[in-house]
Amino acid sequence: MTRQTAHEHLLRTYENDQKRFQNMLRLTPYCFDVLLHLIQDHPIFSNNSNNAQAPVEQQLAVALYRLGRYGNGASVHDIARIAGCSEGSVENFTKRVFTAIASLHDLS
């Protein structure tokens, strides 16, 4: 049995259960895919480092999961624990996703 990363858990465990997917990420799978398509080619998700970034779909999933939490469950520490990444990654993923989404405003 291969170990599923928490990023994958946020996306894959519920991909065939729309209600649970929406509960975790606050979007339907269809809307998630549309948003992913709109932001995935943004330059913020590219780098020249030897350390590749996490896939855009994983960054989006973590950011959406974070945005859907409140109270004690909204701490970066708790989001990182659930998402299986570092607190810095949670911050970076969220900033990148916000940057990419904000750039969509200029497209209209």
Tens digit of each residue's pLDDT (9 = 90 or more) over 47-60 = 988 989 999 999 99
Residue 100 reports pLDDT greater than 70? yes
CA distances, 83 to each of 38, 41, 61, 70, 101 (Å): 23, 23, 9, 16, 21
Domain residue ranges of the chain, discontinuous segments joined by +: 6-43+53-107
Average pLDDT over residues 89-103: 97
Euclidean distance between CA atoms 16 and 41, whole angstroms: 26
Euclidean distance between CA atoms 42 and 7, whole angstroms: 20
CA distances, 44 to each of 38, 48, 58, 90 (Å): 13, 11, 14, 15
How many other CB atoms sit within 10 Å of the CB of residue 50? 5
Q: What is the pLDDT of residue 1?
A: 40
Q: What is the pLDDT of residue 7?
A: 62
